[in-house]
Chain A
Amino acid sequence: MSAFLGAFLPPFIVQLVIILLKIAVVIAIGLLHVAYATYWERKVIGHMQVRLGPREVGPFGLLQPIADGVKLFFKEDIIPANADKPLFYLSPVIFFIAAISSLSVIPFFESFVIADINIGLLFLFAMSSLGAYGIVLSGWSSNSKYAFLGGLRSASQVISYEISMGLSLVGVMLMAGSLNLSDIVRAQHQYPTGMFAVPQFIGFFVFVVSAFAETNRLPFDLPEAESELVAGYFTEYSGFRFALFFLGEYTGMIIMSSISSICFLGGWTIPRFVTDLLPFLNYVPGILWFLLKVYCFMFFFYWVRATLPRYRYDQLMAIGWKLLIPLSLLNIVITAIVKIWFRGMA
């Protein structure tokens, strides 16, 4: 396509068009995935809970997410009387933008990434921390006590688990020798097991637990614990502003699944010993492996939600600071020592 366009356009415009096209494709497919993540969640949890889930709108209820979106779009946008209006307007947008812009650094398959920057992993952390601002500000600006408590809980939760999550990925960085997500995947492909989840099992465990806390999912959904805080930080939100929080949250889940797929499960590749054994698997496009891993991880999110109760606030903090952070620090030390030892042998 670039050759075709290059025939009558200057090169920088061709580059721009291609980037814009990529962004459009990623956002469209990303949002579609987010919409159907809600559908699958309801279906999967429904069947786990001896129910059927949505089945009225469209065949097998497949149009349910679209109906939900349309409904939320046309709902009245209620703003509490004493709310801090600019912040109240802004916070769902911050939350959503932070979540969706994380998609820009994720390599979906070989050489398909919007921004192939060499600090990809840091960018993801930065964006997930920015998302916390959306939550805190929404809790503050709603001028509601429940939302306020939800916002406070979220602030402390995200800050604590950001640390353990960052530390859990340091082992991966050490093994790959890069922060670029595509390089991390390539390094994994070179590695005998093909996945960093095997040597980095401590890091993987810490990452998974932190991912649940970062995305406010059970058993760590305290910021929106409906039995305690009604709906937590978005208690006062309605209509499309609520939908933005909802979309942002599910985008966050997809981002976390993507990070785990890229950093621990080999991204778009599958281990080489598998392809040596079954050579025809080489012809399967990489995007399918990537999506398969993401879907499995998403299923795990649903499964846990259907199974576990919720932690209490102080227990959540204790797990973060007393268990996960020491574990991930230990993991870094072990990884570094093993790496230096191997280098010394070579």
Chain B
Amino acid sequence: MEDIEQTEKTFETKELTISMGPQHPATHGVLRLLLTLAGENVVKCTPYVGYLHRGIEKLGENRTYLAALPLTDRLDYISSMNNNVGYVNAVEKLFGIEAPERAKFIRTIVAEMGRISSHIIWLGTHVLDIGATTPFLYAFREREVIMDLFEMLCGARLTVSYPRIGGVRNDISQEFLDELYDFVLDFPSKMDDYETLVTENRIWKDRTVGIGVISAEEAINWGLTGGTLRGSGVDYDVRKYAPYDAYDKVEFDVPVGTNGDCYDRYLVRMEEMRQANRIIRQCIEKLPAGPVMADAPKFTLPPKDMVLKDMEHLIHQFILITKGPTVPEGEVYMGTEVPKGELGFYFVSDGSGRPYRMRVRAPSYVHASVLPRLCEGGMIADVIANIGTIDIVLGECDR
């Protein structure tokens, strides 16, 4: 006994401060966590963000509403379609115009495709961080199909800029619809593949059940949204709560968890993928005919073939591109449900063609702030599980 006391006197124990990131395999980009460790236990966790700051909000204020759209591709770069949809919906609300029915359905289709492709990456990377390599590569197989479909649709795979203010860039072809329908029919069996590998896996459950628990009340207070919030049992989804596009015309369930741990958030997102698949299927079946751009010449660009032929259309195009549309004064907030959570765009308009203030409410930023709450008191390995489960993309977080 005296020996032990002697040893404790001679050896002083210290906490270890370790900088995880900005270059680290598990931080999903350039997140930096300053961890204070006592052995394997995390005593303190401080996230540092901003390594990917490009000033997207300020850049948006220097461009016309029409020209700021490609910036939103660079927010959450793995689901750029959803950001575009969120942006054009917000701007349409400000302009007071509405997209035609067919365009709304098309936007719903592409947004849900974006949701599947984003959730698939989340699944792959989250599971890879926990140590299972195979689902990651399976996941990219399915994402590749969606990327190919996007390429067929608009020529771009990653930064699509496909939706337009007042509609979408071009109509979708029958060939695209056929291939998408094949994917939709096939996708549930692929989901079963993942679930066989992961969901009931004993090690997976050991690593995620009871990890990073956050109660419903606390989750609301932290401002969590999306799957991260629904995992705690709060039934909040912008698509149900304030429907935009064609979400009020399709049936889908909003899955919610019960315990608010990593495993419930995992289950919620897995079910969301199945629901997204269901939404796409309904949209394809109900897709109405008609134009894909709103008839609002003050805000939307004239058709390109007319611009090349006709003087009036050329002038019209020139004015809209250089000066921007004439916008009513006022301010508007519009939230949309992107794969990460609620992505909000807030515009203050002074009546010119450029926003006076463009503010992006990025879910990843809010979710990164909850990391200390989830990680402190856990182990290093739980930090990894928590980063994966809140599903952040630093492009959106840092803007």
Which of B132, B138, B198, B201 gathers most chain A CB within 10 Å?
B132
Per a CB cutoff under 8 Å, which of A153, A218, A227, A308 touches B26? A227
Which one of A218, A230, A306, A312 contacts B379 once the chains associate, using CB atoms below 8 Å? Answer: A312
- Flag the segment in B101-109, B123-131, B150-158 that touches A: B123-131
B137 touches A308 (CB 8 A): no
- Are B131 and A315 neighbours in the complex by a CB distance under 8 Å? no
Are the CB atoms of A308 and B379 closer together than 8 Å?
no
Question: Which residues between 130 and 163 of chain B lie within 8 Å of chain A, taking CB atoms?
Answer: 130-134, 137-138, 141
What size tier do the contact residues of chain A reach? Answer: 20 to 34
Q: A48-B134, A227-B128, A308-B131 are in contact. Are A146 and B25 (CB under 8 A)?
A: no
* Interface residue ranges of B109-132 to A (CB < 8 Å): 127-132
Closest CB of chain A to B32's CB: distance in Å?
14
Q: Which residues of B contact A146 (CB under 8 A)?
A: 18
Give Cα distance in the complex from A305 to B18, angstroms. 28
Closest chain A residue to B19, Cβ basis? A145
Q: Mark B1-41, 1 if CB is under 8 A from A, else 0.
A: 00000000000000010100000111000000000010010
Give min CB distance, B263 to chain A, whole Å: 12
Most buried by A among B18, B131, B204, B383: B131
Question: Closest chain A residue to B203 by CB distance?
Answer: A309
Contact of A307 with B by CB under 8 A: yes
Asked if A162 is at the interface (CB within 8 A of a chain B CB), the reply is no
User: Roughly how many angstroms separate A45 CA and B133 CA in the complex, as a whole number?
Assistant: 9
B52 within 8 A of A: no
Q: Least Cβ distance of B211 to chain A in Å?
A: 9
Interface pair B381/A313, CB less than 8 Å apart: yes
Contacts of A170-220 to chain B: CB distance below 8 A: 218-219
* Chain B residues, Cβ within 8 Å of A315: 206-207
The CA-CA distance from A50 to B190 in the complex, in Å, is: 13
> Which residue of A218, A219, A228 contacts B380 across the interface (Cβ within 8 Å)?
A228
**Interface band, chain B:** 20 to 34
Within A288-325, the residues touching B (CB, 8 Å) are 305-315
Distance (whole angstroms) from the CB of B378 to the closest CB of chain A = 10
CB of B220 closer than 8 Å to a CB of A: no
A227 B201 Cβ-Cβ under 8 A: no
Distance A226 CA – B384 CA, assembled complex (angstroms): 11
Q: How far is the CA of A145 from the CA of B39 in the complex (A)?
A: 11
User: Contacts of B197 on A, CB cut-off 8 Å?
Assistant: 307
Mark contacts of A103-140 with chain B using CB atoms, 8 A cut-off: 1 yes-contact digit, 0 otherwise. Answer: 00000000000000000000000000000000000000
- Determine if A309 and B201 form an interchain contact, defined as CB atoms under 8 angstroms apart: yes
Q: Which residues of A contact B207 (CB under 8 A)?
A: 309-312, 315
Q: In the bound complex, how far is the Cα of B141 from the Cα of A48, in angstroms?
A: 13
Q: Does A225 contact B (CB under 8 A)?
A: yes
Query: Which of B37, B131, B379, B383 contacts A221 (CB under 8 A)?
Result: B131
B138 / chain A contacts, CB cutoff of 8 Å: 49-50
A149 interface residue, CB < 8 Å from B? yes
Residues of A within 8 A of B133 (CB): 45, 49, 305-306
Roughly how many angstroms separate A153 CA and B252 CA in the complex, as a whole number?
A: 47
List, in ascending order, chain A residues with CB within 8 A of B18's CB.
145-146, 149
B105 to chain A, nearest CB (A): 33
| A266-285 interface with B by 8 A CB criterion | none
Min CB distance, A301 to chain B, in Å?
A: 14
Residue from the list B16, B26, B203 in contact with A228, Cβ < 8 A: B26
> Can you report 6 A-B residue pairs in the complex whose CB atoms are below 8 A from each other?
A49-B134, A227-B129, A306-B134, A311-B207, A313-B379, A314-B379
B binding-site residues for A, Cβ under 8 Å: 16, 18, 24-26, 37, 40, 127-134, 137-138, 141, 197-198, 201, 203-204, 206-207, 379-384
Which 7 residue pairs are nearest across A and B when measured between Cβ atoms?
A310-B131, A227-B26, A49-B137, A309-B132, A309-B131, A227-B129, A312-B381
